[in-house]
């Protein structure tokens, strides 16, 4: 097994697994602590409610197991869409605290002319020069987004990429062995495939 995909019960995880398979990476979709404890890398995808996801993680004790694996053991972990949001401290969507592995919070996009909510469709990401996730990415790469909340207050050193949607927001984060992307790499064709390729090359 090359990776464990944490099953929050929120979203189509099969598309993430299929994207990994295209890189000849074997993965399992699981909520089993024993499997997660042995996985060489972890993916935390999801769509939907911030509070529902955090409640499921905390009720199962997986929040602490994931913390130990990613922060303690240095196992690479990639959060996707809601999974990236969970890495931050809190969200205006709900009341529960996030994992707080990366400083920052989520606030809702305010509708304005030319900026409907949710932010849905294709957009670009300006990568940080030091980002490992975006290594080798073509200059005009585009990614598929569907979200109503954006990351704010993320320290500059933890921002791996930013996106313009009425103003700039952190659309990708990296800190140590932990990374997150607000877009869906599994729906982003060759550019998303490069994100997975780069992540699969990470080592402890």
Alpha-carbon span 32 to 37, nearest angstrom: 9
Q: Active-site residue 89, yes or no?
A: no
Residue 153, CA atoms < 13 Å, CB-side half-sphere? 12
C-alpha 94: how far from chain center: 18
Q: Name the active-site residue from 24, 119, 186, 201.
A: 186
SS3 at position 94: coil
Q: Active-site residue 201, yes or no?
A: no
Which stretch of DSSP H or E encloses residue 14? helix 13-21
SS3 at position 28: strand
SS3 at position 93: coil
**Residue 25 preceded by cis peptide, ω within 30:** no
Number of H helices, E strands in the chain: 6, 13
Q: Name the active-site residue from 81, 119, 147, 174.
A: 81
Contact 4, 62 (CB under 8 A): no
Give residue for tokens 């996009």. 109
Q: Name the active-site residue from 93, 184, 189, 201.
A: 184
* Residues labelled as active-site residues: 81, 184, 186
């Amino acid at each position: 097994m090359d990776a464990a995909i944490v099953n929050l019960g929120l979203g189509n995880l099969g598309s993430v697994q299929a994207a990994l398979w295209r890189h000849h990476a074997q993965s399992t979709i699981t909520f089993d602590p024993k499997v997660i404890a042995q996985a060489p890398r972890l993916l935390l995808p999801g769509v939907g409610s911030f509070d529902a996801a955090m409640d499921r993680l905390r009720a199962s004790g997986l929040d602490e197991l994931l913390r130990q694996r990613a922060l303690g053991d240095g196992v690479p972990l990639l959060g996707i869409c809601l999974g990236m949001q969970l890495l931050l401290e809190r969200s205006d969507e709900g009341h529960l605290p996030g994992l707080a592995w990366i400083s920052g919070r989520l606030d809702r996009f305010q509708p304005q002319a030319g900026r409907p909510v949710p932010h849905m469709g294709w957009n670009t990401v300006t990568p940080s020069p030091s980002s490992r996730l975006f290594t080798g990415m073509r200059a005009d790469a585009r990614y598929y987004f569907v979200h109503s909340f954006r990351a704010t207050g993320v320290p500059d050193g933890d921002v791996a990429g930013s996106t313009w949607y009425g103003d700039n927001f952190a659309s990708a984060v990296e800190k140590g062995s932990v990374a997150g992307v607000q877009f869906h790499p599994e729906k982003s064709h060759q550019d998303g495939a490069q994100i997975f390729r780069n992540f699969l090359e990470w080592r402890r």
